[in-house]
Chain A
Amino acid sequence: MTRAAFGALLSHWWRNPLQLFTLLAGLALATGLWSGVQAINAEARASYDAAASTLDEGRYDRLVARDGGAFAQDNYIALRRAGWQVSPMVTGDLNGVRLIGLDALTAPSGMGPVSLGGGTDLGAFLTGSAQVFANAATAARLDGVEVLIADDLANDTAVADIGTAQALLGREGLIDSLLVMPDQPVGLPALGEVAPDLTMQAAQGGTDIAGLTDSFHLNLTAFGLLSFAVGIFIVHGAIGLAFEQRRGMVRTLRALGVPLNRLIGLMLAELLVFALVAGVIGVALGYVIAALLLPDVAATLRGLYGADVSGNLQLRPVWWLSGLGIAFAGTLIAGGSALWGISKMPLLAAAQPRALAMAAGRRARWQLVVALVLLALAAVLVFTADGLVAGFAMLGALLIGAAFALPPVLNAVLAFASARAKGVTAQWFWADTRQQLPGLSLALMALMLAIAANVGVSTMVSSFRLTFTGFLDQRLASELYVSTDSAEQTAALISYAETEGVAVLPIQSADVQIAGHPAEVFGTRDHATYRDNWQFLQSSAGAWDATFAGQAVVINEQLARRAGLALGDPVTFGSVTLPVAGIYGDYGNPVGQVVLVEDVFATEFPHVVARQFGLRISGDVGDFVNDLTAATGIGAGQTIDQAGIKAVSLAIFERTFTVTTALNILTLAVAGFAILMSLLTLAAMRVPQLAPAWAMGMTRAALGRLELLRAVMLAVLTAVLALPLGLALAWVLLAVVNVAAFGWQLPMYLFPLDYARLGGFALVAAVLAAGWPAWRLARTPPGDLLKVFANER
């Protein structure tokens, strides 16, 4: 019985391959987009982790030479002999691979990334046999050394014993940095007594980079979810249609003695088989998407955040599983209501179009109620949402509510147009469009979600970019940064800069506690640099004037949020109490900041002497550094070419758009596909509806043109409705989700040209999707149209 019944169920798909294709393709595309985004995310994270575990540099304080260069190994021995628990590192480039030399005996435990297999010859590793560890991909690029494979190493990274590394790099007796162990023995002499040429560099903690990259990843994940939601609408449509068309068969099967439970079980099994097939295809598709996009994503992240992401993609079981899981979940979500309907369907009720129509009417009303409830929930969450889960719940409520609200809204618009239509063709067009709406509504919902997602994500990414470039302008305003290591050098720098007419802006800071939170106070010189480049989130009039007059301070957003400070509120540290005149964005910085005029700073913190300076140089930075070295003896190692860094950062940031645009087009392609499939499946039903219009004198070509026009008109209407939804989505991502996740809000900017372009894409997708069905319709043989009348009795 089971075999015969299953065979009958499956035979439907062989007779209707287009439906099967729609179902599988929709699910596969949805899964593909999801797992593609996940793959990019997972790969990037895995790369961070590998890079982090390779070095852990950020986790430890480090001793480095004051001039930033390498220093003699004697310093290491002297420090160890004085009790300092430090471990030497040397790094350098070997055939384009970053070679890290470390001493396994003194390195912090947990730092060695290398899971060394048994049988490794330790003697060879430690005693200069030119053995290095690298992963398989990197190993292929290393010649002349014995490479031991360690797959958990990051790409382009090799690890060797420090002695081996020194020899390979031609840097015998030199060390780049010393990692300082967190636990030091009692009675340690001061660093200056043992190694006066070295200086302590505090652990980074890593929050700054992690904050920004996590934000980017979170937004990519949200994008993946949205894409998947679009896909689910397609699958829902395809499954719903397939089940609707098989109602008769289901009834016959039951009449012939297949028990209901068995039937439901078989249909569920059928769906799961489809989910498996489509899921596998989808994950493979996602791999292709990710492989195509990953080099750009990797470059983006590396450039943006300095995070080291290798441009290689590996198939990871995690996203295979997550991809398949999401395919199954999506299928069950989409198929659940259809199966429920089948289980509730009475055995005897003959196909009653009127009842079905009434049921559809009830469903439409239910959808509207659900839509209103969800939108109301989203509205409530706007005011109450606190935390990431609530933020995402709000996102979900907003999107699903809007999607459910689409058909009634479109219906109202069409009814409005219909009532005002002049001429019989126009009247027929509007009325016929309304009749079409139920069949197309799922595809239109998918399109709306796709456009909204694209609008939202474009807005988010572009706002992110604007904010970040503004932030770079603000923070890297000075073309050159110079560190001095003595009062004499400082004086020499200032006098040289004066002769050259270059502004010198001291960078001096002190750590304080403000309202119980740690914060840094910066003493700042009055200069146009600040007035021109710093962008306030909020400010009172003449904020900089008041600040430089010593009558106010400006603070960063983190401090404002943590200490609950608003404009005009007093900030107190030490003996200073001044009002807040402005709040500036300080993205990714975990610590609160206060900017104060230098005179007040000097009075309050007399012991702090500026040793770092920003220089505003109009000419070539390299030439200036050469001249500076010649004139003052300040070496290039004491300078940082900020202008160069900024240019590279900005150039690489532009690549974010490659990814965003590619994802936009993919999502729209999925939505376009939904429209195409809906129109194709509706085509068969269209013939009886169009036959009367044809009989009354409209040509088939005219009918075809109207079909195309209808699809385009519906797409435009949907796009118009999607725009505010997309903007709402962006706002939720920037102002709710980001704040919940990371504690800072990204300002939102609007990009009308981008939206117009997206609307254009959506239109193209709709035309491409509707073109073929319309063309087919225009080619319908007159005989088929005549048959409509012949069949009617």
Chain B
Amino acid sequence: MCYFNGMTLLTVDNLSKTYATADGPFAVLRGVSMTLEAGESLALTGESGSGKSTLLHLIGGLDRPDAGSILLQGQDIARLDDAGRAALRRGTVGVVFQQFNLIPSLKIADNIAFQARLAGRHDADWCAVLADRMGLTDHLRKYPEQLSGGQQQRVAIARTLAPRPALVLADEPTGNLDEGTAATVMDMMLELVAETGAGLLMVTHSQALAGRLQRRLHLRAGQVA
């Protein structure tokens, strides 16, 4: 299946999610709707607790909505079971986490290739290109703990892009990095994502970062502002 730029990749319709908390139920998302075209990049902004991370998790198949639908490549992922959502996470969607979430006992080369291997479409040449573009070529035989935070996040980004996902989700990808490093990592990420033609949905609280993406969606109290 191939989606060209300009076709609708993602359609979120009237999405709701409520969490139980110590103070009673808390409606994180209240009827959010949005779309993302293939190859398009979108910044998801909002205050802490506005529901932007929850929206990201729901789209990434990490959690299930209470109501509404998420059409990704025409498939409603809100209706998928555990195995279906796992398959989605393996092959279609890639997530870049704030905490990198590398596998500490695997070397960098294996971490980069890991998700592609899980998805069953490992491409050594492509991994080498990603490592080169991310400036990791000298570190392939090291373990994550031997790398700096910026380097680790670059590994995570390479890992996400290795299986060529249709949609990249990023949750404050540079939130754990200092300013200089964050800018470099963000440049590399945006460039590579654009090259692969994947759609990008990035949660950030930085107006500057948000400005570098094609579109911006602001959430306030669980609704599109």
Contacts and interface: CB of A to CB of B under 8 A. Distances in A.
Contacts of A248: 101, 104
Interface in B86-123: 86-91, 95, 97, 99, 101-106, 110, 114-115, 117-120
Contact of B117 (A1, A249, A254, A350): A1
Contacts of A348: 57, 62-63
B143 interface: yes
B82 interface: yes
A261 B83 CA distance: 9
Contact of A257 (B57, B88, B103, B104): B88
Interface in A451-475: none
A256 interface: yes
A467 to B, nearest CB: 57
A15 B143 contact: yes
A256 B105 contact: no
B104 A249 contact: yes
Interface residues of B, number: 28
Interface in A1-49: 1, 3-5, 7-8, 11-12, 14-16
A4 B86 contact: no
Contact of A249 (B62, B99, B103, B115): B103
A259 B101 contact: no
Contact of B118 (A249, A258, A261, A350): A258
Contacts of B110: 7, 11
A375 B62 CA distance: 44
Interface string B45-86: 000000000000100001100000000000000000011001
A348 B61 CA distance: 11
Contact of A251 (B82, B101, B114): B101
B105 A11 contact: yes
Interface string A345-361: 00110100000000000
Interface string A249-284: 101111111111100000000000000000000000
Interface in B101-156: 101-106, 110, 114-115, 117-120, 143
A257 B119 contact: yes
Nearest to A257: B90
A257 B63 CA distance: 13
Given A1-B118, A252-B103, A347-B62, A259 B86 contact: yes
Contacts of B118: 1, 4-5, 256-258
Contact of B105 (A16, A257, A258, A261): A16
Nearest to A5: B118
Contacts of B83: 259, 261
Given A4-B117, A5-B118, A260 B103 contact: no
B119 A11 contact: no
Contacts of A14: 105
A15 B146 CA distance: 13
B32 to A, nearest CB: 18
Nearest to A12: B105
Residue picked from B62, B87, B99, B105, most chain A C-beta under 10 Å? B105
Contacts of A260: 82, 86
Interface residues of A, number: 27
A584 B161 CA distance: 85
A257 B143 contact: no
A265 to B, nearest CB: 13
A256 B115 contact: yes
Interface in A318-374: 347-348, 350
A4 B114 contact: yes
A11 B103 contact: yes
Nearest to A245: B104
Interface in A96-155: none
Nearest to A4: B117
Contacts of A255: 62, 89, 95, 97, 101
Contact of B114 (A256, A261, A350): A256
Nearest to A263: B86
Contact of B87 (A7, A251, A257): A257
A402 B11 CA distance: 59
Contacts of A8: 103, 105-106, 114
A8 B101 CA distance: 13
A256 to B, nearest CB: 5
A251 B117 CA distance: 17
A242 to B, nearest CB: 11
A252 B101 contact: yes
A12 B105 CA distance: 5
Nearest to A246: B105
A4 B110 CA distance: 9
A1 B103 contact: no
A252 B103 CA distance: 7
A254 B115 CA distance: 11
A348 B63 CA distance: 8
Given A1-B117, A257-B115, A252 B102 contact: yes
A15 B143 CA distance: 10
A350 B57 CA distance: 13
A76 to B, nearest CB: 80
Nearest to A8: B103
B72 to A, nearest CB: 14
Given A1-B117, A4-B114, A254 B105 contact: no
A467 B194 CA distance: 88
A347 B97 CA distance: 14
Nearest to A254: B86
Contacts of B102: 252
B76 to A, nearest CB: 18
Contact of B106 (A11, A16, A259, A261): A11
Interface centre among A7, A16, A252 (most CB of B within 10 A): A252
B101 A15 contact: no
A785 B33 CA distance: 51
A3 B91 CA distance: 16
A347 B64 CA distance: 11
Contacts of B106: 7-8, 11
Contacts of A1: 90, 117-120
A258 B103 contact: no
B170 to A, nearest CB: 13
**Which has the most chain A C-beta neighbours within 10 Å: B83, B91, B102, B106?**
B106
A254 B118 CA distance: 11
B104 A258 contact: no
Contact of B90 (A3, A12, A256, A350): A256
Central interface residue in B57, B95, B114, B119, by most chain A CB within 10 Å: B114
A260 B85 CA distance: 11
A270 to B, nearest CB: 13
A305 to B, nearest CB: 56
A347 B63 contact: yes
A348 B62 CA distance: 7
26 contacts: A1-B117, A1-B120, A4-B117, A5-B118, A11-B105, A15-B143, A16-B105, A248-B101, A249-B103, A249-B104, A252-B102, A252-B103, A255-B89, A255-B101, A256-B89, A256-B114, A256-B118, A257-B87, A257-B90, A257-B115, A257-B118, A259-B83, A259-B86, A260-B82, A261-B82, A350-B99
Interface of A: 1, 3-5, 7-8, 11-12, 14-16, 248-249, 251-261, 347-348, 350
Interface of B: 57, 62-63, 82-83, 86-91, 95, 97, 99, 101-106, 110, 114-115, 117-120, 143
List 3 A-B pairs, minimum CB-CB distance, nearest first. Answer: A257-B90, A257-B89, A4-B117
Given A1-B119, A255-B97, A256-B114, 14 more contacts: A1-B117, A4-B118, A7-B106, A7-B110, A11-B105, A11-B106, A14-B105, A249-B105, A255-B101, A256-B90, A257-B87, A259-B82, A259-B86, A348-B57
